[in-house]
Amino acid sequence: MQYNDYPAEQIAAKLEQINKFEAEFGEKPVSKSWRKWCTDYEYRKREWEWRQALGNYASKNAHKALL
């Protein structure tokens, strides 16, 4: 599988949600991480790769926990 980035409109919409949240509640660790996700292509790519690796591991090794 190859990483395909999210559409720019979807990323911009999420960033707008973050701006509204932070205006109301201030910066929080979760909003800070979402801001990083929205503004850094490499961060999104690494996050996607991590999820793929985790799913791959679970699909091949999760059954071993039941043995």
21 Cβ contact partners less than 8 Å away, ≥ 6 residues apart: 28, 31
* pTM of the model as a whole: 0.79
CA-CA distance, 41 to 6, in Å (whole number)? Answer: 10
Q: With CA atoms as reference, report the closest residue to 37 among 13, 60, 59, 64.
A: 13
Output the pLDDT for position 58.
Answer: 86
Mean pLDDT by 10 residues, the chain (67 residues): 93 97 97 96 96 90 71
Output the pLDDT for position 66.
Answer: 66
Output the pLDDT for position 61.
Answer: 82
